[in-house]
């Protein structure tokens, strides 16, 4: 197996994404860039949270007998313990999306929480994209930032890793035979905007570009963002963009 991790910050020195590989586990987290008033109870930054949680999830998930949801719940509890005595988390704290995979016993397990994505590139040439659509559903149903925030980590709303370990139970999980896979790509929504915002790729062509030349993909993505007309530009013209690729058929 060959792994590649590549990340590009939207602003130099301010990358809120986190990713890593340890043993049979790979994780990719995208820190949620919400307005500061929605995390007013905590003085820690989003990057601190996403990196702290990524490290603890990598360690927790080394126990192959522990389901990935339980590993994530334990990691959230670990990070909460780092700052709950000095922060008022009931007033809001930083959060992150999570994608994690673990391989062994002939299968690749996966966990996806919120709108980062896992692209599973099949040995048969097909590509399957796994993401959690609930945040998009809420965004389409609500009209204001406060109304959207009120449905974060709430029944009937959307779920993200924050300080509530019960959010882990809402993650999408499953497994795929390793023999059926060519590659797996853990990507932030800064990467999948190449599909959803820019129309540069579909799932299959994005997966192929990530496997063949991720640096070229990032360069073309940044150029396409810069060319967007003002009326099509999102709140953040550029976003942190992170990809972690596992090539399963590598020698």
The answer to whether 189 and 30 are in contact (CB under 8 A) is yes
d(CA 162, CA 93): 7
In this structure, what is the dihedral angle of CA atoms 66, 67, 73, 78, given to the nearest 10 degrees?
30
pLDDT in tens, 70-83: 999 999 999 999 99
Contacts of 139 (CB under 8 A, 6+ apart): 148
Among all chains, which residue has been given the structure tokens 């994005």? 206
Per the structure block, which two tokens stand in for 107?
Answer: 């299968």
Give the closest residue to 248 by CA, choosing from 68, 108, 130: 108
* Across 60-64, 100-104, 138-142, least confident range: 138-142
The answer to whether 20 and 3 are in contact (CB under 8 A) is no
pLDDT in tens, 24-47: 999 999 998 777 788 888 999 999
Taking residues 101-107, report their average pLDDT. 95
d(CA 19, CA 21): 7
Among all chains, which residue has been given the structure tokens 């390793």? 178
Enter the DSSP assignment of 65.
Answer: T
pLDDT given for residue 250 in this prediction = 52
Per the structure block, which two tokens stand in for 31?
Answer: 């820190």
Give, in order, the Cα–Cα distances in Å from 220 to each of 116, 147, 171.
Answer: 20, 35, 32
Half-sphere exposure of 183 (CA within 13 A, CB side): 25
Per-residue pLDDT for 144 more than 90? no
> 172: how many CB neighbours lie within 10 A of its CB?
18
pLDDT in tens, 167-209: 999 999 999 999 999 999 999 999 999 999 999 999 999 999 9
Enter the DSSP assignment of 196.
Answer: H
Taking residues 48-62, report their average pLDDT. 97
d(CA 35, CA 153): 16
């Amino acid at each position: 197996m060959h792994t590649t991790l590549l990340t590009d910050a939207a602003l130099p020195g301010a990358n809120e994404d986190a990713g890593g590989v340890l043993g049979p586990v790979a994780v990719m987290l995208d820190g949620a860039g919400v307005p500061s008033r929605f995390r007013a109870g905590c003085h820690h930054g989003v990057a601190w949270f996403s990196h702290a949680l990524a490290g603890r999830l990598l360690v927790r998930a080394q126990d192959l007998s522990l389901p990935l949801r339980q590993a994530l719940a334990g990691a959230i509890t670990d990070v909460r313990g780092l700052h709950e005595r000095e922060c008022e988390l009931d007033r809001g704290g930083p959060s992150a999306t999570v994608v994690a995979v673990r391989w062994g016993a002939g299968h690749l397990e996966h966990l996806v929480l919120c709108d980062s994505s896992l692209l599973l590139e099949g040995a048969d040439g097909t590509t399957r994209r796994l993401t959690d659509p609930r945040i998009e559903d809420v965004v389409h149903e609500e009209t204001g930032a406060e109304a959207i925030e009120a449905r974060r980590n709430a029944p009937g709303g959307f779920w993200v890793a924050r300080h509530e370990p019960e959010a882990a139970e809402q993650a999408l999980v499953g497994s795929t035979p390793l023999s059926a896979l060519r590659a797996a790509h853990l990507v932030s929504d800064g990467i999948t905007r190449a599909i959803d915002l820019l129309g540069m790729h579909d799932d299959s062509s994005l997966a192929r570009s990530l496997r063949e030349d991720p640096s070229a993909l990032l360069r073309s993505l940044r150029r396409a963002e810069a060319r967007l007309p003002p009326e099509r530009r999102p709140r953040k013209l550029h976003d942190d963009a992170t990809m972690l690729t596992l090539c399963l058929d590598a020698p």
